[in-house]
Amino acid sequence: MSGDKAQREFVSEVEDILERMRDDIARLAEGVGAGAAADPRIVNGLFRSAHSLKGLSGMFGFDAMSELAHHLEDVLDGLRMGRSTLDHDGLSLFDEAVTLISSLVGKLDDDRARSDAEESIATLMERVDAWVAGPTESDGSRESEVDLPAAVLRALTEYEEHRLHENVAAGRNVFLADSDFEILSFEEGLSELNEAIQALGEPISTLPSPGESPDSQIRFSILLATTLDRDSLAEQLDLPAEQLHLVFEGEAQPAALTDAAATEATASEVEPRNEQTPADPGPGSEPSESSLKSISDTVRVDIRKLDELMNLVGELVIQRASIRKIAETLATEPATARVGAELEKVHRSLERKLADLQASVLDVRMVPLRQVFDKISRVARRLRVDLGKEVRLDIRGADTELDKLIVEDLVDPLMHVVRNAFDHAIEDPGERESCGKPVEGRVRIEAFQRGNDVVIQVSDDGRGIDADKVLERALERGLVTEGQELSPREILDLVFHPGISTREAVSTTSGRGVGMDVVRSNIAALGGIVTIESEPGRYTTISMTLPITLAIMQALIVGVGSQRFAIPLNSVRETLLVDPQEIQSSDGRELLNLRGEPLLLRRLSREFDIEPSDAGKLSAVVLGIGDSRMGLLVERLEGQQDAVIKPIQGPVSRVRGVAGATELGEQGAVLVLDVSALVEDALRGREAA
Amino acid sequence: MQRILVVEDSATMRSLIVSTLEDLDDLVKVDEAESGFEALRLLPRDDYDLIVTDINMPDINGLELVSFVRRDPKHAGARLLIVSTEGSDRDREKGLELGADAYLVKPFDPGELARIATELLASGSESPGSSD
Amino acid sequence: MSGPAGTHDGTAEGATRWDALARAAARREAVEAGEVQHEYLAFRLGDVPYAIAVDGVREIVRMRPVTPVPRVPPEVSGVISLRGEIVQVVDLRRRLGMPEVEPSRSTRIIVLHGDVGEVSGVQVDGVTEVLRVVESDLRPPPSGESEFVSSICEREGRFVSVMNMQKVLDLGGS
């Protein structure tokens, strides 16, 4: 019968709790016998047991048992909060209570035994209450003089708060120790750390937070009290000193280890916890004041939180657009014209505030390029030694700021380009001398903002790119055909082709091109472009143009058939109304005469295989990537919108020509075009896949 | 489908809560954790719609768990219900301040738990239950 | 009432608590009886019942406007926006070669966890329940069954096809 099973489950849990209580009482008795103060951890354990017992028996209708547990809980609460002190009388009362409950649990189905026991419970409760009426101390002030981060302070239970105050009153130092663990195995590491802390003082609370990489890591902030100072604590715990934040400075002299716990600590073997200690500077690298300041003045923010904030701002922007529509409608009706005008005024001020809000949120995401550049300088230093070349690296514009997410993804391609310059572009000292160049080669990295873009240029004064050799390779590989006319720019562009940019093909002859296709696609994934300029024997400059942020952009909304698309406005040069008759065909390509220059056209409907409507006039959106231009024919221009661009998730991992999607209010998801892919395909004459 | 995580160190209490919640609807899935640590290990794996937690637990307390969940953007959509034996008023206030959505005192009536859980699940994200 | 007489005060709530606990115990007994329990989300296409492992399911959402995406296999009907996340939707009818129907009030998109943290949506005609199934209820699919069916589950005399969602979502790369 499952009913019996339920009861057995209940009884066995109660018995487990009682067993734990007996153990705790026995351990407390040893202490009381020896005249020492009761160990707060054991008292707290006993309290928790009584608390669980109260809840459990109350839940299943054993009111008398629950009542007794409640009285015990009150008494134990007084003890753990320091309102009373433990003596032999108290202990024997606890013992009797446990025995009584234990006998009651054994006779759950026996009504007579139950009512007998309930009577005994009543008398025992009176005695428990009488014992409590003993000496009482004031709990002292609850005001906090401890400089704790709000997140930690707010998650302390009343008991933990009490322990904190006890330790503060005793003049101990209170620290917050941060440590990151792998989620899969944090328990082991954390319990080792806790044991180590226990040997040095008292762990008060353990607050978990999402770690550096929240999917695999978890951070624990342990609030602890000790007589040790920061440096010795760091050494004993084998934690970098900057992970220890002093939140209260006690009066205890760190040198004199008078406290029992501390003495024990130096004597006992504190296990070194090498496995998860981050490899970092030794302890004591920083005075504690500055770390205290760092807790209070700055916060570390998960980038995902900023994304979420950005999403909210994006949603507000969409809502704002609806408000404007309402205002316009109201303003056109004579009866509501005044309200409409008012609403429009409010709307304008809302619009300004939203723009400020958006700018502030964006600003938080911005980080200077310095950190990337510093990393590159370090690698460059090593390269110089490894390659045996003399190269001077100049860095300019390290304060230029970019979205943190872009900066992270920029490291690899940028490193690649710099490495190429050192490795292949700059000649050996002997070779340089014989060409009459200074022995010391020069590589310059320069970053600057241009409109809504950031440009990063890597220039070297090395051997440059031999266009003839590149063309030769391209012909061999069948990438270009004999007699095909290519501008010098188009030839240099071939370096970005995967078939060309292999070490064997180009690097030894032209000094350029290893993995340049990868660099281009990495940069394109960030919505940027890479261009190359070079003069054989003199220089090569590689320019990467990136949007300042991916988080939000201005988009032009266009329509074809029943569908809509968003085009990032920073790659739209202009829009034109086109009469289909103006479109010229040559060689299967469509062209438009744009102020005397031929503009290559592509129809979005054909590109994406969309049923066109019978629109008479078409619009051409002139897209520009670097110096390349192309006209995209669409049926409708539907205005500009702020858009938060998101990656597309699902079984099909990449769709060429689509950079992502954005949510536009009630219209749901709208695809964002990948302009660099579209332009590239058009210029290469590649047909839609 | 709705996902629920029950964090409770008492096995009996946990059984009761889990079985009450499993009976809410044909479309709920209830995971259980017998400690705060176990909950921390389960949390990154799933997006829970509702997390039911006790306060008094041996490893980390329920307040710390609530605080963790509220500071992890992954669980921004999760509703939080504290189910705890009557105790410190201050702990209860703190739980709500930290962002718990409701507080239920033990002993409670399973019907009451079911009602609160249903309400919280309905107020959560847009996941519909088995309605229509 | 399955609660033992005299163990509570006879109040209705005491009884429901014991009941709930007893049900939990019964459930656990079934699992402990040596059977591994699986949980499946049951859904339907027309009247035909199917199921998928609950572990892979992130959430279930109502049908919403699906934005078509060019240059993808026809089984992908497009993308939806889920609180700002953009997720592809696979039309399961198309994937299984079944005739298409207009979405109805019961049409749902089951949002699944992907292998590397990406999610995908699968459009079905309706979701019905979470099945708790023991190992002995499962049998291998009969020969000639669709490649997407990993096992057959018997429930109250009906057979439910358990789908292998990994295969369903494998559209041969991009």
Q: How far is B61 from chain A (nearest CA, A)?
A: 8
Q: How far is A308 from chain C (nearest CA, A)?
A: 9
Chain B: residues touching C (Cβ < 8 Å) = 1, 12, 15-16, 18-20, 22-23, 26-29, 46-47, 49, 77, 107, 109-111, 125-128, 130, 132
Could you tell me the pLDDT band of residue A297, with boundaries at 50, 70 and 90? low
Q: What residue ranges of chain C have pLDDT lower than 50?
A: 1-10, 174
CB-based contact (8 Å) between A538 and chain C?
Answer: no
Whether the Cβ atoms of residue A417 and residue A424 lie closer than 8 Å to each other: no
Average pLDDT score over chain A: 80
Whether the Cβ atoms of residue B5 and residue B110 lie closer than 8 Å to each other: no
Say if the Cβ atoms of C69 and A671 lie within 8 Å.
yes
The predicted model gives A494-523 an average pLDDT of 62
CATH of the domain at A655: 2.40.50.180
Between strands A628-634 and A669-673, the pairing is unpaired
Say which of C4, C18, C120 has its CB closest to residue A650.
Answer: C120
**Same domain as A621, residue A647:** yes
Q: What is the pLDDT of residues A351-403, one digit of tens each?
A: 888 888 888 888 888 888 988 898 888 888 888 888 888 899 999 999 898 88
| Domain boundary pick from A481, A515, A547 | A547
Nearest to A166 by CA among A23, A43, A287: A43
CA distance C85 to A650: 11
Say if the Cβ atoms of C79 and A670 lie within 8 Å.
no
What's the number of domains chain B is made of? Answer: 1
> Higher pLDDT residue, A456 or A428?
A456
Cα angle: C132, vertex C138, C141; to 5 degrees? 135
ipTM of the complex in this document: 0.84
Residue A1: what pLDDT? 44
CB-based contact (8 Å) between B97 and chain A?
Answer: yes
The predicted model gives A65-70 an average pLDDT of 87
Chains contacting A (3 or more CB pairs within 8 Å): B, C
Say if the Cβ atoms of B18 and C17 lie within 8 Å.
no
Q: Looking at the domain assignment, is residue A176 inside a domain? A: yes
Q: What is the pLDDT of residues A170-186, one digit of tens each?
A: 888 899 998 888 877 78
Name the closest residue on chain B to residue C117, using Cα atoms.
Answer: B45
Give me the percent of chain A exceeding a pLDDT of 70.
Answer: 84
- Most distant CA atoms of chain B, gap in Å: 43
**Same domain as A597, residue A562:** yes
Nearest to C64 by CA among C119, C123, C127: C123
Whether the Cβ atoms of residue B89 and residue A77 lie closer than 8 Å to each other: no
**Same domain as A476, residue A327:** no
pLDDT surpasses 60 at B131:
no
CA distance A248 to A230: 11
CB-based contact (8 Å) between C41 and chain B?
Answer: yes
**Same domain as A574, residue A539:** no
**Same domain as A274, residue A201:** yes
- Among B17, B27, B113, the strongest candidate for a mutation testing the C interface, having the largest count of C CBs within 10 A, is B27
Say which of A61, A607, A653 has its CB closest to residue C14.
Answer: A61
Residue A622: what pLDDT? 94
Q: What is the pLDDT of residues A528-580, one digit of tens each?
A: 788 888 888 889 999 998 887 766 778 999 999 989 999 988 889 899 999 88
Whether the Cβ atoms of residue A567 and residue A673 lie closer than 8 Å to each other: yes
**CA of A41: how far to CAs of A669, B85, B86, B90, B107, in Å?**
56, 20, 21, 21, 27
Comparing A11-15, A299-303, B19-23, the range with the smallest average pLDDT is A299-303
Name the closest residue on chain C to residue B16, using Cα atoms.
Answer: C21
Could you tell me the pLDDT band of residue A296, with boundaries at 50, 70 and 90? very low
What's the number of domains chain A is made of? Answer: 5
Residue C81: what pLDDT? 87
pLDDT surpasses 50 at A143:
no
> Higher pLDDT residue, A289 or A615?
A615
CATH of the domain at A17: 1.20.120.160
Say if the Cβ atoms of A62 and C8 lie within 8 Å.
yes
CB-based contact (8 Å) between C12 and chain A?
Answer: no
**Same domain as A259, residue A359:** no
CB-based contact (8 Å) between C164 and chain B?
Answer: no
Bridge partners (DSSP) of residue A555 are: A568, A641
The residue type found at A615 is A
CATH of the domain at A482: 3.30.565.10
Residue A480: what pLDDT? 80
CATH of the domain at B89: 3.40.50.2300
Q: What is the pLDDT of residues B87-130, one digit of tens each?
A: 667 778 888 888 899 999 888 888 889 999 999 988 864 444 33
CA distance A42 to A23: 10
The pair of three-digit structure tokens given for residue A320, joined into one six-digit string: 């704002």
Q: What is the pLDDT of residues A402-411, one digit of tens each?
A: 888 888 889 8
Q: Looking at the domain assignment, is residue B130 inside a domain? A: no
Average pLDDT score over chain C: 81
Q: Looking at the domain assignment, is residue B95 inside a domain? A: yes
CA distance C108 to C119: 16
What phi, psi does A473 have (nearest 5°)? Answer: -60, -45
Comparing A178-187, A266-275, A585-594, the range with the smallest average pLDDT is A266-275
Could you tell me the pLDDT band of residue A642, with boundaries at 50, 70 and 90? confident
CB-based contact (8 Å) between C80 and chain A?
Answer: yes
> Domain of A342?
303-367
**Residue entry with tokens 């034109």:** A576
> Higher pLDDT residue, A408 or A115?
A408
Chain C residues inside the 8 Å CB shell of B28: 130
The residue type found at A435 is C
Average pLDDT score over chain B: 84
Residue A291: what pLDDT? 37
pLDDT surpasses 80 at A456:
yes
Q: How many inter-chain contacts (A to B, CB under 8 Å) are there? A: 111
Say which of B64, B72, B107 has its CB closest to residue A205.
Answer: B64
Please name the residues in contact with A267: beta carbons below 8 A apart, sequence gap of 6 or more.
none
Write out the H or E segment, with its range, that includes residue A91.
Answer: helix A88-106
Chains contacting B (3 or more CB pairs within 8 Å): A, C
**Burial class (CB within 10 angstroms; exposed 0-12, middle 13-18, buried 19+) of C129:** middle
Q: Looking at the domain assignment, is residue A483 inside a domain? A: yes
Q: What is the pLDDT of residues A147-172, one digit of tens each?
A: 777 777 788 888 888 888 888 888 88
CB-based contact (8 Å) between B112 and chain A?
Answer: no
Q: How far is C11 from chain A (nearest CA, A)?
A: 8
**Same domain as A543, residue A558:** no
CB-based contact (8 Å) between A657 and chain C?
Answer: yes
Say if the Cβ atoms of C70 and A610 lie within 8 Å.
yes
The pair of three-digit structure tokens given for residue C35, joined into one six-digit string: 């059977």
Say if the Cβ atoms of B41 and A158 lie within 8 Å.
no
A88 three-state secondary structure: helix
> Domain of B94?
2-123
**Same domain as A537, residue A634:** no
CB-based contact (8 Å) between A608 and chain C?
Answer: yes
Whether the Cβ atoms of residue A214 and residue A191 lie closer than 8 Å to each other: no
Q: Looking at the domain assignment, is residue A408 inside a domain? A: yes
**Same domain as A401, residue A270:** no
| Domain boundary pick from A281, A297, A313 | A297
Residue A148: what pLDDT? 77
A416-442 exposure pattern, b = at least 16 Cβ within 10 A, e = fewer:
bbbbbbbebbbbebeebeeeebeeebb
Q: Looking at the domain assignment, is residue B50 inside a domain? A: yes
| Domain boundary pick from A297, A329, A357 | A297
**Same domain as A322, residue A254:** no
Give me the percent of chain A exceeding a pLDDT of 90.
Answer: 14
- Among B13, B34, B59, B64, the strongest candidate for a mutation testing the A interface, having the largest count of A CBs within 10 A, is B64
Q: What is the pLDDT of residues C105-154, one digit of tens each?
A: 889 999 998 665 578 999 999 988 888 787 778 888 888 778 899 999 88
CA distance B47 to C119: 12
- Among C128, C129, C130, C155, the strongest candidate for a mutation testing the B interface, having the largest count of B CBs within 10 A, is C130
Residue A367: what pLDDT? 86
Could you tell me the pLDDT band of residue A236, with boundaries at 50, 70 and 90? confident
Q: Looking at the domain assignment, is residue A380 inside a domain? A: no
**Same domain as A60, residue A21:** yes
Residue A35: what pLDDT? 60
CB-based contact (8 Å) between A1 and chain C?
Answer: yes
pLDDT surpasses 80 at A19:
yes
Q: Looking at the domain assignment, is residue A197 inside a domain? A: yes
Comparing A108-112, A654-658, B71-75, the range with the smallest average pLDDT is A108-112
Residue C11: what pLDDT? 52
Whether the Cβ atoms of residue B132 and residue C127 lie closer than 8 Å to each other: no
**Same domain as A446, residue A393:** yes
Say which of C3, C81, C117 has its CB closest to residue A669.
Answer: C81
| Adjacency order of strands within the sheet including A244-248 | A201-210, A217-226, A173-182, A244-248
Residue C80: what pLDDT? 93
